Amino acid sequence: MKTSKLFLSIKSLMAMNFLFVILIFFTACAGTLNTGFPSRAGMQTDGDQLDMESDEVIEDTFDYDFLPELLSLSIDNELPVSSFREVWAYMVAGREAGFSNNHPVTDLAYFGTSVNAYGRLAGIPNFNNIAGIRARKHLVATCSGQALSYFVLMEGRPEREALIRGLLEASRPYDGLQINFEYVPAESRAAYHSFLRELRAGLGDKMLTVALAARARTLQNDVYDYATILPIVDRILVMAYDEHWSTSAPGPIASMAWCERVARYSLDTIGREKLIMGLPFYGRRWGNITPNMAFIHSGIENIMREQGITDIQRSSGIPRFTYQTAVNMTVYFEDEHSLSLRLDMYRRMGVEAVGFWRFGQETPLIWNYINLE
């Protein structure tokens, strides 16, 4: 009997320890979900990532005299055509159809392989699908989640060593590798930078690029500090989009005033040679209400009272009701007018390379307003 009780106590202790580990894991994951990114592939960035307070309003005030006149152009004016030394475009695997070698693109960022829950590469795209494209080709690697990033970047771990070997092997047919790790926690700052250095050493003559969150000023102990990363890589693509994101208040994906601030800081910190200013091809929709959510009972009673609900139906004993309500939608998007003005603004500021998230989301007309130098 005593042995049985002791066995049960050990089992209970083991169960408690297991639940404790699970609690820590999901706490870390919850933090990741609150700071998600875009972005672009369904991720998003919070205000801190963008170096913006959530309630900060960017006024249309500019440091460059030409901008007010440029932005006053009506849609009836002839739009400016901008020339750049490099034009980068992201392409998601499976969306290759429609790309033409006539597009003014020097570099194709192929999106992409990702790090799975075991720290290994998954979803490596087939290089043969883009072999006929004449642009330089770069494999893009992502890692989604702070806990996962912390785990795979930890120095001395076999998972990190295996990941580096896997990235170098997967990059073999490409002209370069781009690291797009958008959830690196502050504790992994040094590990992230040493990770980039090891990749740089292993790539040899191939290009190493990174995609970094937008900044308008230097932040203390910033994982994505431009000045620290600059000597390690060949290019830095600044993701100057998601100024407003899916859970923020409605607003432009990238307002002109905000983009000017980001570009000015990027030029000062990175310089023209290695800077790629990212632009969005996509839009976002916001509603004045979010219908899908959980309610406590008093909240359900409030809805029934406000909507005049009297017909309660039951399904296998569970009560339910339906009602209709109006939802006001706000949509911000990019067209050839907004994109050509932003491109002209960057060109006049001295930006020599731009990149787009992502091919297939754009208005086809925008390609009429981009030239290669």
Q: In this predicted structure, which of 191-200, 288-297, 346-355 has the lowest mean pLDDT?
A: 288-297
Q: Are 112 and 137 in contact (CB under 8 A)?
A: no
Helix axis angle, 2-34 to 146-153, nearest 10°: 100
Other Cβ atoms within 10 Å of 11 Cβ, number = 10
256, 212, 261: which is closest to 238 by C-alpha?
A: 212
Q: Is 43 exposed, middle or buried (0-12, 13-18, 19+ CB in 10 A)?
A: middle
* Cα–Cα distance for residue pair 172/177, rounded to 1 Å: 9
Give yes or no for residue 5 having a pLDDT over 50.
no
193, 115, 108, 99: which is closest to 155 by C-alpha?
A: 193
Q: What is the pLDDT of residues 298-351, one digit of tens each?
A: 999 999 999 999 999 999 999 999 999 999 999 999 999 999 999 999 999 999
Q: Is 128 exposed, middle or buried (0-12, 13-18, 19+ CB in 10 A)?
A: exposed
Identify the helix (H) or strand (E) that includes residue 82: strand 82-84
Q: What is the pLDDT at residue 60?
A: 63
* Cα–Cα distance for residue pair 359/366, rounded to 1 Å: 11
* Cα–Cα distance for residue pair 55/332, rounded to 1 Å: 18
Q: CB-based contacts of 140: which residues, under 8 Å, 6+ apart?
A: 90, 109, 110, 111, 112, 113, 178, 180, 211
Q: What is the pLDDT of residues 312-325, one digit of tens each?
A: 999 999 999 999 99
Band (pLDDT 50/70/90 cuts) for residue 292 is: very high
* Cα–Cα distance for residue pair 69/287, rounded to 1 Å: 33
* Cα–Cα distance for residue pair 341/79, rounded to 1 Å: 8
* Cα–Cα distance for residue pair 295/274, rounded to 1 Å: 50
Q: Catalogue the long-range contacts made by 259-262 (C-beta closer than 8 Å, 24 or more residues apart).
A: 259/342, 259/345, 259/346, 260/62, 260/63, 260/64, 260/67, 260/345, 260/349, 261/58, 261/216, 262/214, 262/215, 262/216, 262/238
Percent of the chain scoring above 90 in pLDDT: 78
**Residue 184 structure tokens:** 């690196």
Beta bridge partners of 114: 122, 142
Q: What is the pLDDT of residues 227-283, one digit of tens each?
A: 999 999 999 999 999 999 999 999 999 999 999 999 999 999 999 999 999 999 999
User: Three-state DSSP class for 371?
Assistant: strand
Residues of the chain with CATH 3.20.20.80: 41-286+331-372
Helix axis angle, 146-153 to 189-203, nearest 10°: 60
For 66, 79, 287, the CA distances from 73, given in Å and listed in that order, are: 12, 8, 30
Beta bridge partners of 268: none
Mention the CATH class of domain 41-286+331-372: alpha beta
Please identify every residue annotated as catalytic.
Answer: 182
Q: What is the pLDDT at residue 63?
A: 76
Mean pLDDT of the chain: 87
pTM given for the model: 0.83
Q: What is the pLDDT at residue 75?
A: 78
Q: What is the pLDDT at residue 206?
A: 98
My answer on whether omega of the bond before 235 falls inside 30° of 0, hence cis, is no
Q: What is the pLDDT at residue 71?
A: 79
